[in-house]
Structure 1
Amino acid sequence: MKVALLEIKNPGDSKDFNGGFGTTFEIGRSYKSKILAFVRRNLEKNPTLSYAYISAIFKKYGHKVDYYENKLPNLKGYDLCLMHVSLIRHNEETKLISALKEKKQCRIGVYGPLATVQPELFYRSDLVIIGEPEEAIINMAKSGIIKRGRINSQPINDLDQLPFPDWSIFLLKDFSLSPLISAKPAIFVHASRGCPYGCNYCPYKVFGTYRQRKPENVVKELKHLKEKYHIKSFYFRDPTFSIGEKRIEELANLIIKEKLNLKWGCETRVDLLTAPLLKLLYSSGLRCVKLGVESTDHQLLNSYGRKPPQIKKQEEIVKFCKKTGIKVVAFYIIGIPNDTRESILSTIKYSHKLNTSFANFTICTPIPGTYFYNNIKGKIFEKNLNKFDNFHVVFNHKHLSKEEIYSLQEKAITSYYFRVRYIGRYLLDKLAERE
């Protein structure tokens, strides 16, 4: 079997984030915000991990795989073309599917969380994989049979049984985690999938339950990545990396024991971190951690199933990370239902106080398949799915107009990054990197 993996991707896009629905970076209209957007889009470039897993599975069973990005390839001679479809590039992806169908060269298939929760959007495709794609891909690769229609694919419970992702389909030298970690090439690694927490706006529950890999298997993959692909850094693409302190300690100790000498980052919750754990993780190569702060209005967050850590705990962890040499990216959400101008300004003020290495201010976006989306569906006015990217207003807000939310988001971002205190902090971080 000959398989083509096809992806539509703009600078700044990441299909792995936002639960696999994708996110990009679109902010403001001022020259300041345009500068920030340009820098962000041109520094960081991420691969899409699902393509690497799918390629590895097909190749394991003797099939040929090619990857194409941002082009309409000649698919003559191919048996199957697969696309990870997203919210952020939905319009472009469906147009490409239509163009490929007109050529009638091979079967066209789609997968991803959007295909799972709204398969009817992809009626022109020959097949739509419902669920995490690996089980369906394994069955296809083993049998050599490409089914049509909607194909149910159950989550893989034992993640250690999956082959290591095949990164040879990409130009690895282009992948970078900069400015978080400058060492490259850099790629993504899964140490777990899913999230056990109950935030009702979170898209990570669309695909299966929470599952972990054994630390030994993760380190085996890291050794493989270093030896075969000569990676210099990586990012754990787990929604909540540090669940299970003993397991994470074991993983860190194994990385140290193997002397991998790789820099890495992760995303987790503040209340799953302690000073001793961070110290150990730093010794194993941790140089960046992303943390969800979201809002200073904890009552508001509680109403959406989010249980935020106490302010004191947040400040202690951020302070320790700064002292240790770990960059912190803080996530904030603008325009949660019942947010007011005052509550958002309070969050902006608090972000300045934390003064983390980077801060990300997204606009509250209901993602299809989540409880939040279903609950607020009647207030959604936006029909263009490309705008469900966490940087556009898509539903009618109780207290704020569309323009007010955009204005507050731009204020949050530009007032954060164009402060003397922040610029000083950024320069200190850069100097510390060189030491």
Structure 2
Amino acid sequence: MIDILLIYPPYLSKHKSPPLGLAYLAAFVEQQGYKVKILDMNPLGLTLSDIEDSIKKNKPEIIGISFMTNQFGNALKVAQTCKSIYPKIPIILGGNHVSALPEEAMEYDFVDFVILREGEITFRQLVEALDKGIENWEKIDGLVFKRDGNIIKNRDRALIEDLDILPFPKWDDFPINAYSEKILGVSEELPVFSVFTSRGCPGKCAFCSSHTAFTRRFRKRSAENIFSELQFLEEKFGARYFNFIDDTLTIDKKRVDELCDLIINTNKQYRWIANARVNTVDKEVLKKMYMAGCRNICFGVESGDPEVRKNVGKGIAGEQIKNAHIWAKDAGLIVSSFFMVGNLGETWESIEKTIALARELHSDYPTCAIATPFPDTRFMEEAEKNGWLITKDWNRYITNPHIDQDYFPVSTNGILSAEELLEAYYKVNAAFAKIKLTTKYGERYLFNPEFYTKEIGSRIKKLGISDSLQLGWKLLKGGFN
């Protein structure tokens, strides 16, 4: 028997990092003596039909469920199943989606509480109140609850200023070898451990909802605290590969420099990946990152059209994009570049500019997604105001058609139709595929045996023959458009 069961519902993608939010909650309340178990359903091989047995086996007193927007339907099914087994058990929901739309979730009679935004302190106070049988819900900041049939939303909780006070996330319940992250440029396949080094992104991108949970105020862990977590994970789990999953690791370059020094001076042979903005890096920090084991850096470019980048509030210039890619490659880093189609104001001309810029950048791994208006984003505000939304079926709010063969966009941008967005997506991805292959194998990649063994073989292994053929056909058609 355990006190608290934390559940991360099934998701469409086959490739996912662990739900660190739940791992932080677990570690935080375990400091108070509670026994907590985490179920990340996908990598554990648990389906919705398996959850009943898991609930009966663990016999929890409290159940918490965290999820992203496209997991909403599965989260409700999990919650309903839990309530049907133990009608009096408190069901608590948290995460980005319910922080944006708490009343929507609370309309369901099998949902008792929603925790808003940053959850550690609110969750601990709620657990302690439930444990003592004290219904002082009004006194718990950051909580949404029901009283006499009414939904009551308390004031927001103040942010945790010193992130170093938080315990390291609880990894004990995660099936470490089941997670699929890989570090590009590293031949050895070992588990990659995700690490948050900060909270809050000061960016104001129209398509991004990361501010919903952590706001736009940047708060950081110290370099010493981050390094201690890396050492802890190495000592306990043998970790050597890490993914810093902050929106932007390089906001504070001095802190990055300090972290790199700690890794270098202790002769740690760590390898890691990080996200960065092109306007937060320079030659020196990129070289230092490589020396400290960084092998893959990811830049959000979004569009080759300066007007589109301006429309979405990206705040980066073409020269900054080009310089960052040159500096990163000169430092020895493998560069991943993230683009989208369908952002605010994007046209077919914009899409051609995206393809042209990607060719000029010679990025090792350019990728493309379809811009999607998630709750609590400026894109969603514009889509609702202008009647662009096609559906609010949250289960369909995914950004990558590769994940779902039946994918169809959930919104337009008022210029390109849904059908045109799909056409643009495959057109850009077809161009990107050629860029990746020529960068990796040369202009005559079709005559390079490694192309067939590494690319075609791995794709079939990953997707299966049927899905690989379908994807190949869509990309081939995109290449002729």
Q: Are the aligned partners of 1:183 and 1:233 in contact in 2 as well (CA < 8 Å)? A: no
Per the alignment, residue 64 of structure 1 pairs with: 35
Q: Are the aligned partners of 2:367 and 2:432 in contact in 1 as well (CA < 8 Å)? A: no
Larger radius of gyration: 2
Cα deviation, residue 371, structure 1? 2.7
Whole-Å separation in 2 of the counterparts to 1:186 and 1:114: 26
Cα deviation, residue 337, structure 1? 2.5
Q: Are the aligned partners of 1:365 and 1:389 in contact in 2 as well (CA < 8 Å)? A: yes
Q: Is the aligned partner of 1:424 residue 2:428?
A: no
Per the alignment, residue 136 of structure 1 pairs with: 122
Q: Is the aligned partner of 1:402 residue 2:418?
A: yes
Using structure 2 for the length normalisation, give the TM-score.
0.77
Cα deviation, residue 236, structure 1? 0.9
Q: Is the aligned partner of 1:233 residue 2:241?
A: yes
Task: Look up the SS of the partner of 1:168 in the other structure.
Answer: coil
Whole-Å separation in 2 of the counterparts to 1:333 and 1:257: 39
- The residue type equivalent to 2:62 in the other structure is L
Farther-moved stretch of structure 1 (312-321 vs 251-260): 312-321
Task: Look up the SS of the partner of 1:406 in the other structure.
Answer: helix
Whole-Å separation in 1 of the counterparts to 2:115 and 2:434: 45
Q: Are the aligned partners of 2:52 and 2:85 in contact in 1 as well (CA < 8 Å)? A: no
Question: Could you say if the C-alpha distance between residues 228 and 64 of structure 1 is closer, same or farther in structure 2, counting changes exceeding 3 Å?
Answer: same
- The residue type equivalent to 1:118 in the other structure is L
Aligned partner (choices 349, 353, 364) of residue 342 of structure 1: 349
Per the alignment, residue 93 of structure 1 pairs with: 75
- The residue type equivalent to 2:174 in the other structure is F
User: How high is the sequence identity, in percent, across the aligned residues?
Assistant: 27
Whole-Å separation in 1 of the counterparts to 2:208 and 2:21: 20
Cα deviation, residue 202, structure 1? 2.1
Which segments of 5 or more consecutive residues in structure 2 lack a partner in the other structure? 138-144, 146-152, 401-407, 455-481
Whole-Å separation in 2 of the counterparts to 1:382 and 1:95: 20
Cα deviation, residue 187, structure 1? 1.5
Which 4+ residue blocks in structure 1 deviate beyond 6 angstroms? 425-428
Q: CA RMSD in A?
A: 2.3
Per the alignment, residue 165 of structure 2 pairs with: 161
Task: Look up the SS of the partner of 2:242 in the other structure.
Answer: strand
Question: Could you say if the C-alpha distance between residues 321 and 345 of structure 1 is closer, same or farther in structure 2, counting changes exceeding 3 Å?
Answer: same
Q: Is the aligned partner of 1:385 residue 2:394?
A: yes
Farther-moved stretch of structure 1 (313-322 vs 90-99): 313-322
- Alignment deviations for residues 193-217 of structure 1 (CA, whole Å, 9 cap, x no partner): 1111222332122123221111111
Q: Is the aligned partner of 1:8 residue 2:9?
A: yes
Whole-Å separation in 1 of the counterparts to 2:265 and 2:124: 34
Farther-moved stretch of structure 1 (172-181 vs 83-92): 172-181
Question: Could you say if the C-alpha distance between residues 192 and 423 of structure 1 is closer, same or farther in structure 2, counting changes exceeding 3 Å?
Answer: same
- Alignment deviations for residues 52-97 of structure 1 (CA, whole Å, 9 cap, x no partner): 1111112222111122214414435311111112211212221222
Per the alignment, residue 21 of structure 2 pairs with: 50
- Alignment deviations for residues 320-365 of structure 1 (CA, whole Å, 9 cap, x no partner): 3233331111111101122111111220232133231212211111
- The residue type equivalent to 1:409 in the other structure is Y
- The residue type equivalent to 1:192 in the other structure is S
Alignment of 1:245-260 (within 5 A): 245-260=253-268
Q: Are the aligned partners of 2:183 and 2:272 in contact in 1 as well (CA < 8 Å)? A: no
Greater relative CO (CA pairs within 8 A, separation 6+): 1
Q: Is the aligned partner of 1:122 residue 2:91?
A: no
Give the count of matched residue pairs: 398
Whole-Å separation in 2 of the counterparts to 1:396 and 1:287: 36
Per the alignment, residue 194 of structure 1 pairs with: 200
Whole-Å separation in 2 of the counterparts to 1:227 and 1:130: 34
Farther-moved stretch of structure 1 (197-206 vs 123-132): 197-206
Whole-Å separation in 2 of the counterparts to 1:302 and 1:188: 31
- The residue type equivalent to 2:117 in the other structure is G
Question: Could you say if the C-alpha distance between residues 4 and 114 of structure 1 is closer, same or farther in structure 2, counting changes exceeding 3 Å?
Answer: same
Using structure 1 for the length normalisation, give the TM-score.
0.85
Whole-Å separation in 2 of the counterparts to 1:109 and 1:301: 38
